Amino acid sequence: MPGENVRVQGKVVKSHLTSFVSAEELRQVQAAEKLAGLPVHQKPYAFVTLKDWELVAGHLEKNLPGAIVSFEAAEGVLPWLAKEEGGRLKQIFGQEVPAGKVVTLTLSQAGRNGNWQLQLDGVIMAAQKPNDANKAEEVKGVKGVKGAKKAKGAKEKTESFAGKMVDAQVKLGGQTLPLHDYQLYSMNFIMDHPYCGIFLDIGLGKTLTTLAALAKLREEGMKGHILVIAPKTVAKSTWQDEIDKWNLPFKTQSFLTDEKGRQLTPAGRKELYEAAAAKAAKGDWQLYFASRDLVSKLVDLGPWLFKNVVIDESQSFKSPASQRFKALKSVRGRIQRLIELTGTPAPNSLQDLWSQIYLLDQGERLGRSITAYRQQYFEPTLLVNNHPVKWRLLPGSEEKIYQAIDDIVISMKNTRLKLPELTESLDWVEMPPRAKKSYQQLKKDQVLDLPGQEISADNAAVLAGRLRQLASGAIYEEDGEHYQEIFAEKIESCFYLTSNTATPSLVAYYFKSDASRLLAFYRKNGVKAELFDGSPGMIRRWNKGKIPVMLVQPASAGAGLNLQEGGHTLIWFTLPWSLEQYQQMNGRLYRQGQKKPVIIHHLLTKGTIDRHVLDSLKKKDLSQQALLAAVRRTLA
């Protein structure tokens, strides 16, 4: 009868649980429903279709016709998913049920105005025999099953799992955030799990997803300051930029710089920490930024103030011997919510995972020490003075490790989240004050004074080229051969992106000075980067994943060049004016045969011509008039 729960077991024909029926697919479904005169779905929905099904618990109000039947969740609701483990149900995430898998569905019977329907509440990734299921219901007392009784002293069979609302837009304080399905899923995951990891590729919007989750939690009464620990450049701008862009309801302060952008002294940090303590005592919760090298210093300043902590690029805590890990470990008991974000959780080996997971669960899943972790999942390959110094994974260990952490981590290793085929990201670079002054001088006077040189731009077209050079960090001297470097922040940002991408990256440059500076920087930092020479041998090595970073000039990457097998990340260091070159370069990865979602990063220096070039490319208006208009906008 309405309100009762039932369970149905059967073989999956098709499921749609994690990559919701939404966006273009939903529009197609709506059109078909309208044409057929059926009720039209207004929100994303999930479903499971079964064949050879049978009722294993509860009583159906009405018979279901046919050997194949579909069960839908309520519109806009994501059903829970669980597996049996040790006699209990453990909730899992991001899984799609493969065709042919025998599962048990938990359904609720709903009735309104004489209409009766079944709604999908949850999926158990196992079969249950009718007798066993009914016996379990009688003993364990699953809510809603008619006549169920709970034995005295019996433990609950399951946790109380709940479905999650899924909508194409999230409303926060009057603002509407357009999140992708996987971002909504990750947001719900963060809200459900006080200690969790979001291990998804850089460029997939982890920052906005996390801010949305924190804002939602704050709306629901989450207490305590929030501390975001991130690399310096990210802590200084990226998070604040997202907050400002979406007008999110956070009051922010930084342990790196003051309100005028000046670096905080140790005394300034101490003063800010004391002020934060006073705010905490009044319940005036704020969001603070700190770089990872400041963690141990903050721990030393006094009683730990931050109940909620986000670690952006958590792989920087991979070493259990590091001061930052030891410092955070010492205050872990005072942290009520910890979120780790990274695209490369194990940059060198799966040994790098232990300390990150320890901060989440204090040793529950991978062991209470790195030694115990190694002994369980690895074997030594090199001994020095009878002490192991090198290790390798035991057969089957990789899968066991991912299974051990899959309830607190979202990653492409343990989920089947549907990502967009193409994600385009704008990655902003902050120009240092001296470089900004040089840029403004060149823009205003069309002349730039440099040591031993005066750089001039005789007309708007030349000025546009000069400004593009300068926006990427260097400018050619009058002879057109030599150049002077003005700032390195854009190169550092490029290095940051490639270092936090698990697969090889293409870097598209324009000027020869870009290539020489990038190669020198990567060489200095011990990372192999190569300049594309167009040879078949180099193409083969790239497609086999043998080149971690390959620098490509768009003019040398024309039609017919197949690079999609080697990677799925492209970084635009300097954009071209040519729409053809821009589209051809993007098409080296985003093309037929690409098996992974492509991410295209655009490195743009704030307050420069970079944004105007991209705007012109997107508008496909690349005439001489567009070039001149971009210069005029820059000069304005």
Q: How many domains does the chain have?
A: 3
Q: What is the mean pLDDT of residues 49-73?
A: 85
pLDDT at 319 over 90: yes
34 occurs within a structural domain: yes
**Which residues pair with residue 70 across a beta bridge?**
49
> Do 604 and 626 lie in a common domain?
yes
Q: In terms of pLDDT, which residue wins out, 524 or 456? A: 524
245, 250, 256, 261: CA torsion to nearest 10? 50
Identify which of 491, 435, 417 has the alpha carbon closest to the alpha carbon of residue 179. Answer: 417
> Do 69 and 209 lie in a common domain?
no
488 occurs within a structural domain: yes
**Which residues pair with residue 551 across a beta bridge?**
507, 531
pLDDT in tens, 8-28: 999 999 887 765 554 556 677
pLDDT of residue 133: 46
pLDDT of residue 134: 46
Percent of the chain, pLDDT > 90?
45
> Do 463 and 584 lie in a common domain?
yes
pLDDT of residue 35: 81
The number of angstroms, rounded, from the C-alpha of 85 to the middle of its chain's C-alpha atoms is: 29
pLDDT in tens, 84-125: 877 788 887 767 788 899 999 999 887 655 567 788 999 999
3-state secondary structure of 458: coil
> Do 521 and 389 lie in a common domain?
no
Judged by average pLDDT, the poorest of 156-165, 195-204, 253-262, 323-332 is 156-165
Identify which of 242, 226, 247 has the alpha carbon closest to the alpha carbon of residue 171. Answer: 247
> Do 314 and 359 lie in a common domain?
yes
163 occurs within a structural domain: no
pLDDT of residue 149: 36
Phi-psi region of 45 (alpha: psi -120 to 50; beta: other; left: phi over 0): beta
Question: How far apart are alpha carbons 343 and 340 in whole angstroms?
Answer: 10
- Residue finishing a domain among 411, 444, 465: 411
Between the alpha carbon of residue 381 and those of residues 303, 369, 371, 625, 627, the distances in Å are 43, 20, 15, 64, 60
pLDDT in tens, 168-196: 567 777 778 888 777 888 898 899 899 99
159 occurs within a structural domain: no
Q: Sign of torsion, CA 361 364 368 374?
A: negative
On the CB side of 295, CA atoms within 13 Å amount to: 28
- Burial status of residue 618 (CB atoms within 10 A of its CB: 0-12, 13-18, 19 or more): exposed
pLDDT of residue 147: 32
Mean pLDDT over each residue of the chain, to the nearest integer: 84
> Do 486 and 442 lie in a common domain?
yes
pTM of the full structure: 0.72
Contact indicator for 291, 317 with CB cutoff of 8 Å: no
Q: Sign of torsion, CA 47 51 56 57?
A: positive
> Do 369 and 492 lie in a common domain?
no
Contact indicator for 7, 104 with CB cutoff of 8 Å: yes
416 occurs within a structural domain: no
Contact indicator for 255, 228 with CB cutoff of 8 Å: no
And the tokens for 510? 């324009």
Residues counted in the chain: 636
Question: How far apart are alpha carbons 500 and 206 in whole angstroms?
Answer: 13
Question: How far apart are alpha carbons 231 and 310 in whole angstroms?
Answer: 12
pLDDT of residue 26: 67
> Do 606 and 500 lie in a common domain?
yes
Q: Which residue is listed with tokens 């210069």?
A: 631
> Do 270 and 402 lie in a common domain?
yes
β 598-605/505-508 pair status:
unpaired
The CA-based angle 413-419-422, given to 5 degrees, is 125
DSSP state of 236: I
Q: Which residue is listed with tokens 């009878």?
A: 386
**Which residues pair with residue 35 across a beta bridge?**
none
Backbone angles phi and psi of 380, in degrees to 5: -70, 145
> Do 375 and 311 lie in a common domain?
yes
Name the band, by pLDDT with cuts 50, 70 and 90, for residue 513.
Answer: very high
β 409-411/453-456 pair status:
unpaired
Q: What is the mean pLDDT of residues 573-583?
A: 89
Q: What is the mean pLDDT of residues 255-284?
A: 92
Contact indicator for 434, 489 with CB cutoff of 8 Å: no
DSSP assignment of 156-212 equals PSS-----EE--SEEEETTEEEE--HHHHHHHHHHHH-SEEEEE--TTS-HHHHHHH
- Residue finishing a domain among 93, 121, 143: 143
- Residue finishing a domain among 121, 143, 165: 143
pLDDT of residue 141: 35
Question: How far apart are alpha carbons 131 and 128 in whole angstroms?
Answer: 8
234 occurs within a structural domain: yes
pLDDT at 139 over 50: no
pLDDT at 282 over 80: yes
Identify which of 128, 154, 155 has the alpha carbon closest to the alpha carbon of residue 6. Answer: 128
> Do 379 and 427 lie in a common domain?
no
597 occurs within a structural domain: yes
Judged by average pLDDT, the poorest of 300-309, 378-387, 565-574 is 378-387
On the CB side of 536, CA atoms within 13 Å amount to: 0
Q: What is the mean pLDDT of residues 545-564?
A: 86
pLDDT in tens, 393-426: 999 999 899 889 988 998 866 666 667 788 899 9
Identify which of 146, 131, 129 has the alpha carbon closest to the alpha carbon of residue 10. Answer: 129
Name the band, by pLDDT with cuts 50, 70 and 90, for residue 283.
Answer: very high
Q: In terms of pLDDT, which residue wins out, 363 or 620? A: 363
pLDDT of residue 427: 93
> Do 533 and 477 lie in a common domain?
yes
pLDDT of residue 429: 93
Name the band, by pLDDT with cuts 50, 70 and 90, for residue 323.
Answer: very high
186 is in which domain, residue-wise? 174-411
Helix, strand counts (H, E) of the chain: 20, 30
151 occurs within a structural domain: no
Question: How far apart are alpha carbons 513 and 505 in whole angstroms?
Answer: 20
pLDDT at 546 over 90: yes
pLDDT of residue 636: 54
pLDDT of residue 211: 96
> Where do runs of H (alpha helix) occur along 194-350?
206-219, 232-233, 239-245, 266-282, 295-300, 323-330
The number of angstroms, rounded, from the C-alpha of 136 to the middle of its chain's C-alpha atoms is: 39
Contact indicator for 436, 613 with CB cutoff of 8 Å: no
Judged by average pLDDT, the poorest of 149-153, 277-281, 284-288 is 149-153
pLDDT at 146 over 50: no
Question: How far apart are alpha carbons 5 and 146 in whole angstroms?
Answer: 8
pLDDT at 226 over 70: yes
> Where do runs of H (alpha helix) occur along 283-349?
295-300, 323-330
pLDDT at 151 over 60: no
pLDDT in tens, 286-297: 999 999 999 999
- Any idea what the CATH number is for the domain that residue 347 is in? 3.40.50.10810
DSSP state of 366: T
Q: What is the mean pLDDT of residues 228-255?
A: 90
pLDDT of residue 158: 41
